[in-house]
Structure 1
Amino acid sequence: MNLPDRKEAEVRRMLDGPHPVVPPDLALRAAERGRRLLVRRRRTRHALWLLALAALAALLTWAAVDQPWLPPPVHTTPPLEGW
């Protein structure tokens, strides 16, 4: 018996044997866990959107105060006196 036949025979033997007892509340527990996961994902998504909006507000505030698009002021040297 080669490797695929051995695995197939083992799977058939497992399926033909006694089946494990499924807990009666398995569907309810799975649905509750799925609901918790969805709520957690939704809260995470909302938190990330709030963080992105806060970062955008900080960037816009910095840009409005600092005005980085303007050229820096020109500094000229004072006239030399007393040479």
Structure 2
Amino acid sequence: MDHKEREVVRLLARAARPRVPAGLPERARAYGTRVRRRERWRRWALWLLLASGAVAFGVWAYAVEPWAAPPMRTTPPLEPW
């Protein structure tokens, strides 16, 4: 190592390191658990919404039959006569 690198290493070794507050790991774990639980419920609600939308679309399609041709409003012309 050259002189500058040794000086940087020495300064970093002497630097004061902040102390970790008491109870920080427990609070971090509790926060992570809450976030994970909230995310699980959100995912469950979105799947439920998607499934209910699919069921509602299926019921609507069964009742309305949008693929069927609409009934004719007038009688067809009688040209072969």
Short-chain TM bin = 0.7 to 0.9
Instruction: Name the SS of the counterpart of 1:71 in structure 2.
Output: coil
- The residue aligned with 1:42 is 40
Q: Which amino acid aligns with 1:44?
A: R
Q: TM-score, normalised by structure 2?
A: 0.73
Distance across 1 between alignment mates of 2:72 and 2:62: 21
Number of the residue aligned with 2:61: 63
Structure 2: distance between partners of 1:49 and 1:56: 11
- The separation in 2 between residues aligned to 1:20 and 1:73, in whole angstroms, is 80
Q: Which runs of 5+ in 1 are unaligned?
A: 78-83
CA 1:66–1:22 in 2, change beyond 3 Å: closer, same or farther?
Answer: same
Name stretches of at least 5 consecutive residues in structure 2 with no aligned partner: 76-81
Give the drift of 1:23. 1.3
Number of paired residues?
Answer: 71
| Runs of 4 or more consecutive aligned structure 1 residues displaced over 3 Å after TM superposition | 12-16
Cα offset, 1:16, TM superposition: 3.2
Match of 1:29 in 2: 27
Distance 1:13 1:67 in 2: 78
Per the TM alignment, residue 19 of structure 1 is displaced from its structure 2 partner at its CA by: 0.9
Give the TM-score taking structure 1 as reference length.
0.71
SS at match of 1:43: helix
The alignment's C-alpha RMSD in Å is 2.5
Provide the identity percentage: 38
